[in-house]
Amino acid sequence: MSNRIITLLLMTFMLIPLLSGCFSEPEESSTPDTSDITPESSEKYDEPVLKSFYATEARWAQGYVVFDPLENSEEFENWDVLYVNRFIDGDPCPGLNEGEVVEIVYSGEIEPKEKERIGFIENVHAITIKNNPRNYDGVDYGVAIMREAISSTKIDSISGDNTEKGMIVLTSFDELDALVGDAFLCQMVMDEPLTDIQKDSLSRVNSRHRLLDGYDEEFFEKNDLLIKSLLLGSGSLRFEVTDISVESGVCTVTYEFTNRPITCDMADWIIFVAVPKELSAQIKEYKTYLSKPDWYP
């Protein structure tokens, strides 16, 4: 009997420390509270500082679009030529016609090339077509030309009764937004992952939208936008608008090629013409005329 008592006493003494731990106050965490601590440096969370300047496109180079900066900018004072990354926030930039005036938004520093006044811009956030005023017959029109800006098939399908095929006149930003979106986006929102081709299409939509940012609600308050698509037999062909005339209610946009073709690939080009609303109200018909050079067949 005494052995049982001794055994029970021993077991009781062994359990007391274990039981006391169950009812003791919890110890404070040794991990410090860092919720109110500000990181030593927040630079990596800051938005990039954006800079912008106006320029005209000179030519294309491998991986870059080459621009000549315009006067009245720091870039013009420091650089003769700027090579601009042809990807806008990762999206490829469609081709612009040589001489088009654009606004380029970028961040970071311009990297020099050796000792020449040539610089490289890698971080490009936007390239926007500007309403380039050109005077024809005493009227200031805004003219821009861009390659693969809007589907020519889409434009052909909605050409109006007062325009030739491949030409439309837009009177509001909503019409332009619908045209650009419907022409390419179709149905890109889906449950399954996008294919590489669909990703490329969506990327092109984004870059086109950025290039067309210059035609906003404010632009359409004073202007209508004439859009003409040209499907050329050579991607190497370049052209310019040489005249815009309005006679007896007919607006004629004259263009001519500036070089001979050297490739056999086909290319879509779009002519944008800003027509003042007071003049547009007097126009009953729009058409184009190709002024053929001597070498053109």
According to CATH, where is 2.40.50 located in the chain? 48-129
- Percent helix, strand, coil in the chain, to 5, is 25, 35, 40
User: What are the tens digits of pLDDT across the range 214-231?
Assistant: 788 888 999 999 988 888
CATH number for the segment(s) 48-129: 2.40.50
Coil, helix or strand at residue 88: strand
Q: How far apart are CA 84 and CA 65, in angstroms?
A: 5
- Write the CA distances from 5 to 1, 9, 10, integer angstroms: 6, 6, 9
Share of the chain above pLDDT 70, in %: 68
- Between CA 150 and CA 112 the distance in angstroms is 35
Between 195 and 90, the higher pLDDT residue: 90
pLDDT mean over 95-101: 74
Task: Find, among 246, 240, 238, the residue nearest to 287 by Cα.
Answer: 246
CA-to-CA dists, residue 34 to 24, 31, 39, angstroms? 27, 9, 10
For residues 221 and 134, the model is more confident at: 221
In this predicted model, what pLDDT tens digit does every residue of 34-87 receive, in sequence order? Answer: 444 444 444 445 678 889 898 988 777 778 888 999 888 889 999 999 999 888
* Per-residue pLDDT at 189: 41
| Mean per-residue pLDDT, 100-129 | 86
HSE of 182 in the Cβ direction (CA atoms, 13 Å)? 12
* Cα dihedral across residues 289, 290, 294, 296: positive or negative: negative
Tokens of 289: 């005329």
